[in-house]
């Protein structure tokens, strides 16, 4: 019984706090970085296979095709 009353009080306090604080504002967008590594991949095979999603990712970013 004591635990139920405590939980109800906590829920009521949280709801009251949400009502007082007003609507939430959206946070600023966060820039993200995607690193795709494919060990042993021959990029010529990807180009020959017509992989439009990989082609689009390479066109929008940086494509490193060798270590030399």
Print the domain residue range for 38. 30-68
Count how many domains the chain has.
1
Residue 8 falls within a domain, yes or no? no
Cβ neighbours around 57 below 10 Å, total = 14
What is the full per-residue pLDDT of the chain (68 aa) written as tens digits? Answer: 455 556 677 777 666 666 655 666 788 889 888 887 878 878 788 778 878 887 888 888 877 766 66
Tell me the whole-structure pTM to 2 decimals: 0.39
Cα separation, 38 vs 28, in Å, equals: 32
Residue 20 falls within a domain, yes or no? no
Buried b (16+ CB within 10 A) or exposed e, 2-37: eeeeeeeeeeeeeeeeeeeeeeeeeeeeeeeeeeee
Residue 13 falls within a domain, yes or no? no
Q: How confident is the model at residue 34, as a pLDDT?
A: 80
Cα separation, 64 vs 51, in Å, equals: 17
User: For the chain, what is the largest distance between any 2 Cα atoms, rounded to a whole number of angstroms?
Assistant: 71
Q: How confident is the model at residue 51, as a pLDDT?
A: 81
């Amino acid at each position: 019984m004591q635990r139920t009353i405590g939980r109800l009080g906590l829920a009521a306090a949280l709801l009251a706090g949400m009502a007082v604080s007003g609507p939430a504002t959206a946070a600023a967008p966060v820039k993200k970085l995607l690193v795709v590594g494919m060990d042993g991949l021959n990029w010529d095979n990807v180009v020959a296979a017509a992989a439009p999603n990989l082609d689009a990712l390479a066109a929008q970013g940086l494509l490193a095709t060798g270590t030399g």
